[in-house]
């Protein structure tokens, strides 16, 4: 009886509250406030079924949409002049160049050309500004040429600058994610062996090392090899026959502007002559087997799983994501290029954080050149904060991402494995011409590594580099040292400017139009 009464009241209420007349038609597009405009997940639903007008080609005919395939694109590039790998408008990036080339080659439909997200663009490894890659992978959906993947690769490469190459394209399953399914990555770092020479006698760091050794004897290693180098250097300075007045001018010369630099030609000439003595002596330096062994021992400390919170930015010791695993590290025998001796360091790890490799290289080389115990690196894995400067980006390149685990699954799905070995010959030729050659030449012209280590040696702030002396890690080690970044960035910007000027000259030769395709590029 109670149920019957409830139903009667409900019917009466509906009759009173319902509007008279027929129910209004549902609008084609509902507002954001209409609860019907959202799905159960909360996402908005567009009820507008008006067909989109087709895009037209140059002849005014509708552009037909072609089927897309999920693929892995294997690429290599020289990062000079680019603000890293990842899209970062309005800056010039590797992904930006690649996406434009995909569109121009017809691998991406004009319907999707306005937004890379529509194609699901993802990169396996993000590289920083100025960093190179012999091999990297991007995964996305592409329109494959009817002639096959090789024809698509050829069409894309025609649209790319010589310093960016597509090695190959492999079809994958729809769920493939080149970043998440990458099991590990291999990086290479090229460093001149003169980076292992001890700080210049008389520099602030050299004085600190001597002072702390007196207070804490028996901790740092003696370095007769470096002592002999600096004795030879002093002899070369004497043989240059600088007068006492000239040496004073050199010591006091600190131009505050470009105008002052250009106006004082005689002093500039003297300073260059003086600095060239050190540059040339370092280029003639050849590392001993003993010192190379120290560098190898230092790099070997990184093997295995460690807390790398001190080797990146913004990570706390207790942050689980600071833990990383290094699988293999090798330091090559030295080799000579244009009179300068170099070493190649290869690091194979599961994953890396921002600036991690550059800080690993810097710490190992600083331990080698200052004579502090190799165990100091192990102490950097502990909770104490140590601000390790990062080595120049110039020497760093991504060798390749590795898909050892996922390749078996790709094979099970009937797809080819993702391997760079089939492109090894092309990649090696590319590295020699567009990566190694640029690294060597830039070091000779800009003295990047010399400037970096000289800055460290002369950084006259008490306690900042105590961790490189017999004193060890102190509270002062947590002070930020960001000037080396500015120093290396200045070199990057100068190189970018030169690259852009060269491109501008080529455009002028072809076309006098001020609105050339290079006019819209933003170089920062």
Known binding-site residues for substrate equal 187
Question: Binding site: what residues are annotated?
Answer: 187
The span from the CA of 420 to the CA of 240, in Å, is: 52
How many angstroms from the chain centroid is the CA of residue 82?
10
| Per-residue tokens: 144 | 């494959």
* Candidates 100, 128, 177, 485; catalytic one: 128
- List, in order, residues 6 or more apart from 290 with CB less than 8 Å away: 225
Query: Any residues with CB less than 8 A from the CB of 205 and at least 6 apart, and which?
Result: 199, 370, 456, 457, 458, 459, 465, 468
Q: Active site includes 128?
A: yes
Is 8 strand, coil or helix?
helix
> Are residues 344 and 188 in contact, defined by beta-carbon separation less than 8 angstroms?
yes
Helix, strand, or coil here: 12?
Answer: helix
**Can you spell out the DSSP letters for 212-256?**
HHHHSTTSSPP-HHHHHHHHHHHHHHHHTT--HHHHHHHHH---S
Distance CA 168, CA 164 (A): 13
Contacts 24+ apart (CB under 8 A), 93-97: 94/127, 94/164, 95/121, 95/123, 95/138, 97/160, 97/161, 97/164
The DSSP element (H or E) to which 508 belongs, if any, is helix 483-510
In eight-state DSSP terms, residue 371 is -
CB within 8 Å of 396: residues ≥ 6 apart? 128, 131, 132, 187, 188, 189, 357, 358, 361
Token pair listed for 67: 């089927």
Q: Which residues are catalytic?
A: 128
């Amino acid at each position: 009886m109670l149920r019957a009464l409830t139903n009667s009241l409900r019917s009466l209420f509906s009759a009173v509250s319902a509007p008279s007349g027929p129910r209004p038609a549902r609008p084609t597009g509902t507002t954001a406030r209409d609860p019907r405009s959202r799905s159960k997940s909360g996402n908005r639903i567009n009820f507008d079924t008006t067909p989109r007008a087709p895009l037209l080609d140059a002849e005014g005919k509708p552009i037909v949409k072609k089927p897309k395939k999920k693929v892995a694109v294997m690429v290599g590039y020289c990062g000079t002049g680019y603000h890293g790998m990842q899209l970062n408008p309005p800056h010039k990036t590797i992904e930006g160049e690649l996406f434009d080339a995909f569109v121009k080659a017809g691998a991406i439909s004009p319907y999707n050309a306005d937004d890379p997200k529509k194609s699901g663009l993802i990169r396996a490894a993000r590289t920083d500004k100025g960093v190179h890659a012999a091999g990297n992978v991007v995964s996305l959906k592409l329109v494959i040429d009817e002639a096959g993947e090789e024809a698509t690769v050829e069409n894309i490469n025609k649209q790319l600058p010589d310093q960016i190459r597509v090695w190959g394209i492999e079809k994958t399953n729809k769920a493939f994610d080149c970043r998440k399914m990458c099991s590990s990555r291999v990086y290479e770092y090229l460093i001149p062996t003169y980076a292992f020479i001890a700080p210049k006698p008389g520099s602030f760091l050299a004085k600190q090392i001597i002072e702390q050794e007196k207070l804490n004897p028996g901790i740092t290693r003696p370095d007769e090899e470096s002592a002999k180098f600096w004795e030879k250097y002093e002899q070369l300075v004497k043989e240059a026959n600088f007068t006492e007045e000239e040496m004073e001018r050199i010591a006091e010369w600190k131009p505050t502007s470009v105008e002052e630099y250009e106006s004082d030609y005689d002093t500039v000439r003297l300073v260059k002559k003086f600095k060239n003595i050190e540059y040339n002596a370092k280029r003639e330096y050849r590392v001993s087997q003993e010192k190379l062994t120290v560098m190898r021992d230092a790099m070997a400390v990184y093997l295995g799983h460690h807390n790398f919170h001190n080797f990146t930015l913004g990570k706390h010791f207790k942050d689980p994501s600071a833990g990383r695993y290094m699988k293999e590290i090798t330091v090559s025998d030295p080799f000579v290029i244009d009179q300068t001796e170099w070493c190649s360091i290869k690091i194979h790890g599961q994953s890396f954080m921002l600036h991690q490799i550059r800080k690993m290289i810097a710490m190992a080389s600083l331990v080698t050149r200052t004579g502090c115990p190799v165990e100091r690196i192990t102490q950097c894995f502990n909770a104490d904060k140590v601000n390790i400067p990062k080595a120049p980006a110039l020497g760093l390149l991504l060798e390749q991402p590795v898909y050892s685990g996922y390749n078996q699954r790709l094979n099970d799905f009937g797809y080819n494995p993702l391997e760079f070995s089939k492109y090894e010959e092309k990649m090696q030729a590319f590295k020699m011409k567009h990566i190694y050659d640029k690294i060597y030449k830039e070091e000779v012209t800009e003295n990047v590594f010399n400037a970096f280590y000289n800055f460290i040696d002369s950084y006259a702030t008490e306690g900042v580099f105590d961790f490189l002396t017999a004193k060890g890690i102190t509270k002062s080690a947590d002070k930020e040292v960001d000037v080396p970044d500015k120093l290396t960035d200045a070199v990057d910007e100068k190189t970018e400017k030169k690259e852009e000027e060269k491109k501008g000259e080529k455009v002028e030769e072809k076309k006098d139009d001020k609105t050339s395709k290079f006019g819209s590029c933003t170089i920062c």
